[in-house]
Amino acid sequence: MQQVVLKHTLSEKPKAEDFDLVQMPAPTCPEGGVLVQVKYISLDPYVGHLLHKGHMGQTAPEPARGLIPGAVVGEVIESRSDKAGAGDHVHSMDGGWVEVVALTDSQFTVVDTDSVPLSAYAGVLGMPGLTAWAGVTQLARVTDGDVFLVDAAAGPVGGTAGQIARQCGAKTVIGIAGGTEKCRLVEKVYGFDACLDYREAGWREQLGIHAPDGITVHYENVGADMLAFALSHMQPYARVILCGLAAHYHDPEPARILIGPIIGKRASVHGLVVYDFYDRWQAFRDAVAPWVTSGRITICEDRSQGLGEAPALMQKLVNGRNVGKCVVAL
């Protein structure tokens, strides 16, 4: 069985050459669990941060043998569980960069592949989608008439958040992304009203054109500077979702956020940690899967084929060069 491991402890954000593809003994099926042939691995920004600096109490995997974490979608090839049988498809947050994984009953959910592609459970119906849904519907409670702004809008969380906001009744959905290709994706594929290209001169002035009365909800994925910009365009009593700090994940010092503008705008600020919503997987999928099936939410993947391509795709992701959800197909 093949597995990707770290060659050494990292002192900076990961590069493709920091990884190695090795042979490992195949796991055995656990009592009351399943053995899963991995079909898709989700690559997510938090993993890059974990490998470099640790993440929310987690430490980086041990070089040469430790399993690199990652959500997986796969097919059950052996079962000792009443929850799933051979041939069923499952999603797990406890997978990794490996061909075969052993899971206990508490580590997976059985997924429906009749109406949506299996790879959707690595993105829009997986952890990125749950993150977007939780922020939009459970915390910000987006409703009719909201003016919604999200940065990193070409990514799987930002792009899904904007699409869900539209389904919840937002009258205007605006994204921020870097580069013509990403902004085209946000507007033409995800269907946002506008996308501000932060690489273009004068991009900040464009928000006032698209939201002349200000925004009512901001979904923050990037960091302190973007948050300060959004706050300057907020209506009083706007809602802010603090989801990610992608711009700061590899900084030597923690991000600093100004409190004054939050007070001045009387803004409600909600920190979002997706783990808090793991008990709502089914409610989330019941709500979002029909939108995927009907085409009201669109999937876009940045896909690599083969386990050995995961390191290069991770390097692409941590440097912001991906367009869409990073998925490794096995």
Distance CA 197, CA 201 (A): 9
Do the beta carbons of residue 328 and residue 40 sit within 8 Å? yes
CATH architecture of 127-275: 3-Layer(aba) Sandwich (3.40)
Contacts of 172 (CB under 8 A, 6+ apart): 146, 147, 148, 193, 210, 211
Please choose, from the candidates 85, 172, 156, the residue with its C-alpha nearest in 3D space to the C-alpha of residue 119. Answer: 156
In the predicted structure, residue 248 carries a pLDDT above the cut 70? no
Give me the mean pLDDT over the 12-23 stretch.
Answer: 94
Distance CA 176, CA 156 (A): 13
Please choose, from the candidates 156, 197, 163, the residue with its C-alpha nearest in 3D space to the C-alpha of residue 180. Answer: 197
In the predicted structure, residue 243 carries a pLDDT above the cut 60? yes
- pLDDT tier at 320, thresholds 50, 70, 90: confident
Please choose, from the candidates 225, 222, 218, 223, the residue with its C-alpha nearest in 3D space to the C-alpha of residue 240. Answer: 218
Distance CA 244, CA 46 (A): 9
Do the beta carbons of residue 132 and residue 157 sit within 8 Å? yes
Distance CA 99, CA 58 (A): 23
Mean pLDDT, all residues of the chain:
93
pLDDT at 49: 81
Question: What percent of the chain has pLDDT above 70?
Answer: 95
Residue carrying the six token digits 């958040």:
161
Which residues face 220 on adjacent strands?
242
For domain 2-123+300-329, the CATH class is alpha beta
pLDDT at 52: 79
Going from N- to C-terminal start, the domains of the chain cover 2-123+300-329, 127-275
Please choose, from the candidates 101, 104, 96, 109, the residue with its C-alpha nearest in 3D space to the C-alpha of residue 43. Answer: 96
Do the beta carbons of residue 241 and residue 272 sit within 8 Å? yes
pLDDT at 57: 60
**Strand, helix or coil for residue 105:** helix
User: pTM higher than 0.75 for the full model?
Assistant: yes
Residue 109: how many CB atoms within 10 A of its CB? 15
Residue carrying the six token digits 């994204």:
175
pLDDT at 252: 62
In the predicted structure, residue 55 carries a pLDDT above the cut 80? no
In the predicted structure, residue 245 carries a pLDDT above the cut 80? no
Residue-wise pLDDT tens digits, 90-142: 999 999 999 999 999 999 999 998 889 999 999 999 999 999 999 999 999 99
